[in-house]
Amino acid sequence: MAEEEIGEREERPHFAGLVGIDWLDDDPDRARARLEVRDELLQPFGLLHGGVISTLVESACSRATALAVIGDGMAAMGQSISVNFARPITGTGSAEVRARARHRGRTTWVWEAEVLDDAGRLCASALMTIAVRPLPEGG
């Protein structure tokens, strides 16, 4: 049920599809996603834009949380994010987020995440809080 409902919602245009996120693992304890670096995702100096890296983190954490709670009539949405950039991701290859749920509460989930480049090097670390709320009417 949860995957079907998320799948139906993803058939509509959405930001993660625009950016090009590939879902690798939707486990509610450990989520993974990847995106291919493309020219339109780079900042002017040829590095993957920090907003894209933040999007990758938020999308993976929100999706994994949503899949876990939607069966209970709940939705998941980003509440706060803190991203620390350690090294740049250049204009080739991919970026992968590996996120681990640290707290799975009734109204909030907290995730720790790492963003790695193709060589497996740490490029960013993040702390993401997801709000868990009733599904909006008609949403």
Residues serving a catalytic function are 58
User: What b-and-e string marks burial along 46-83, b requiring 16 or more CB atoms within 10 Å of the CB?
Assistant: ebbeeebbbbbbbbbbbbbbbbbbbeeebbbebbebeb
Q: How many CB atoms lie under 10 A from the CB of residue 126?
A: 23
- Measured between alpha carbons, how far is 84 from 12 in angstroms, rounded to an integer? 31
